[in-house]
Amino acid sequence: MVGLSVGEKHFIQGGIAQDLRSDGRKRLTYRPIYVETGVIPQAHGSARVRLGATDVIASVKAELGKPSALQPDKGKIAIYVDCSPTAAPMFEGRGGEELSTELSVALQRCLLGGKSGAGAGIDPTSLVVVEGKVCWDLYIDGLVISSDGNLLDALAAAIKAALSNTGIPKVDVAAETTSDEQPEVNISDEEFLQFDTSGIPVIVTLTKVGRHYIVDATSEEESQMSSAVSISVNRKGHICGLTKRGGVGLDPSIILDMISVAKHVSEQLINKLDSEIAAAEASEEES
Amino acid sequence: MRGLQLPLSQTQRIRLQRALEKLQSLSCKANSDASVTVADTIPVNYEDAFLKGHGTTDLNGDLVATVCGVVERINKLVYVRALRARYKPEVGDIVVGRVVEVSQKRWRLEINFSLDAILMLSSMNMPDGIQRRRTALDELNMRGIFEENDVVCAEVRNFQHDGSLQLQARSQKYGKLEKGQLLIVDPYLVKKSKQHFHHLEQFGIDLILGRNGFIWVGEHVEARDSMVVDQANSSEQSMVPEEKSQTHTPLEMRQNICRISNAVRVLSALGFSIDSDLILETVELSSTVKIDIHDMLGSEFHVLVAEREAERRSLMGKRKR
């Protein structure tokens, strides 16, 4: 992706070894994160997150649907990510598909929990309107506008911000319905319900370069990585998901070490993100 | 300036606005009609004949700009020089580029021009320093000099008839750049000056301001003989790559490189033209306020630099008067 000369590669690797990266960061420092909410007026909730030159948008769209027969007490949530060709020439045509799928799957794993829906960051039971009949379907779409590494963390942060920005319309159900019929519903356009986003995890990606690992790698640093582990951690410090990329294997002890580091880093990230989201919402109301 | 997207607090926003207004008021007095945005009319003397150049169009008898930029007038020709555009090379410019292809007797370099620039093997100084014809053996050993993705510094030699660009590197100071980082800024920010190679002695760092907006910040290389690696040397290096990778840039030097790089990043984000004095001043400012290297990219330092620049320019203006 990024062409670097031998000298530059060497410089980047040396910087990571010496705990002073090319832009002056330490190994475990994030770039300044910048959140903007309510960027898409048609969506129920949306947010834009920037991490350096990485720029992503997430939008949440809610639709009334029927819950699946197997899980009548749960709503459905779908996460898709699209890589815009404006981000990099390689995303043109079908070029971005592989990365899009990879990101979507990783996000689904980290945010939606298991197949049964247990342990999900977004509680699917809160989406049910009438059990077995009516529920909300959430469509969460991510769009990568500009890519400078660490897309997964940025997307997870954007989804978290978009969900806290989401207002689901209140639904009144007509009382008299027989058990077979689909109940009549009345969607209110004034009252909105907010999500409880406190349980939504953030994703911390630790990229291993040489003997050390770093958070929030730029695309130049990512080109030097041997492997990367993405760990999603919620506010309580519990691990919600874990994915590994890159071909090189990792020693189990390193993974354990990475997890404890990710837990530590995630605390700061969650606090930072929460304050940014609050600031973004405040400025949105102002304007 | 609208491109600058930083999370600013209320006070920071006001301070930045004040600094920018001050800057604008200073520059406006000199030539207010020089910079245009799309649909601005360009004042011309209609009695004289004039030629419409790039970025201009005729609208209801007025000459109107179609791009944002600076109005340039050369004799009869009136055109707009766009700011956020690709680099337009001039003969003699010093540029920094990245090798994209090694082909027969030439390297192709990406220099942010609309075409790739060409560096011929014959316009390079040979490793042994002897003036001679290039043999087939030299041609085979081209990768020993520059490989793909290498960062190379060269000078614009001339334009070919087909519009492509030829470079030359006929001096010890040109050549491969290692141990440092390449920064890319908008080409219009780098103004032509007498000196584009800067050896910052107090830091032991080389700063190369390529006219194409590629800026190299790296460790100082003495005499720059190493750019042309002769055969014996290169085989030696390939034998001991492990040993070589142990010798990292010293930490102090790296801190200086990062500080200077971040100064360049801040200046380019603010849209100030980049020269070595301004970079050094910004670096000094960052050390005097004892800001962490990474925090230089935060909003507070951006505001600080803008204020400082406004002050500096107003002082300069007073001195002139």
B108 CB neighbours in chain A (<8 A) are none
- Average pLDDT, stretch A106-124? 73
Using only C-alpha atoms, chain B has a radius of gyration, in whole angstroms, of 23
pLDDT of residue A118: 63
CA pair distance A36, A49, nearest whole angstrom = 6
pLDDT band at A178 (very low <50, low <70, confident <90, very high): low
- From the list A4, A12, A23, the residue facing B294 with the nearest CB is A23
CA pair distance A192, B163, nearest whole angstrom = 62
- From the list A8, A14, A31, the residue facing B248 with the nearest CB is A14
Residue A157 covered by a domain: yes
H-assigned helices in chain B: 10-30, 136-140, 142-145, 231-239, 241-246, 251-270, 276-288, 299-320
Residue A1 covered by a domain: no
B245 CB neighbours in chain A (<8 A) are 10, 13
Sheet with B205-209, strands from edge to edge, namely B180-184, B214-219, B205-209, B197-200
Count the domains in chain A.
1
For residue A86, give its domain range.
7-286
pLDDT band at A157 (very low <50, low <70, confident <90, very high): very high
Taking Cα atoms as reference points, which of A198, A213, A208, A197 lies closest to residue A264? Answer: A213
On the question of pLDDT at A59 being above 90, the answer is yes
pTM above 0.95, yes or no: no
The label of the residue with tokens 């050094």 reads: B280
Residue A2 covered by a domain: no
Residue A265 covered by a domain: yes
Q: What is the pLDDT along chain B (321 residues), one digit of tens a residue?
A: 345 666 677 788 888 888 888 877 776 555 556 778 888 888 877 777 788 888 888 888 888 888 888 888 888 888 888 877 888 888 989 999 999 999 888 999 999 888 899 999 888 877 666 777 788 888 888 888 888 889 999 999 988 888 889 998 888 788 888 888 899 998 888 888 888 888 888 888 889 999 999 999 988 887 544 444 444 444 444 444 444 445 677 888 888 899 999 999 999 888 888 888 889 989 988 888 888 888 888 888 888 888 888 888 888 777 665
Taking CA–CA distances from A26, the nearest residue in chain B reads B294
Pick the more confident residue, A185 or B87: B87
CB of A215 within 8 A of CB of A28? yes
CA pair distance A15, B250, nearest whole angstrom = 10
Partner B contacted by A223 (CB < 8 A): no
CB of A227 within 8 A of CB of A27? no
User: SS3 for A28?
Assistant: coil
Q: Chain A: give the shortest CA distance to residue B118, in Å.
A: 18
Subunit contact A8:B251, Cβ cutoff 8 A:
no
CA pair distance A161, A14, nearest whole angstrom = 35
| Interface predicted TM-score (ipTM) | 0.82
Partner B contacted by A224 (CB < 8 A): no
How far does chain A reach from its first CA to its final CA, in angstroms?
40
Q: Chain A: give the shortest CA distance to residue B7, in Å.
A: 7
DSSP B78-108: EEEEESSS-----TT-EEEEEEEEEETTEEE
DSSP B148-174: TT-EEEEEEEEE-TTS-EEEEE-STTS
Pick the more confident residue, A205 or A93: A205
Subunit contact A23:B265, Cβ cutoff 8 A:
yes
CB of A93 within 8 A of CB of A104? no
Query: Which residues on adjacent β-strands are paired with residue B147?
Result: none
B238 CB neighbours in chain A (<8 A) are none
CB of A139 within 8 A of CB of A78? yes
On the question of pLDDT at A119 being above 80, the answer is no
**Best residue in B178, B221, B237, B238 to probe A by mutation, most A CBs within 10 Å?**
B178
B255 CB neighbours in chain A (<8 A) are 20
CB of A158 within 8 A of CB of A82? no
Q: Chain B: give the shortest CA distance to residue A84, in Å.
A: 20
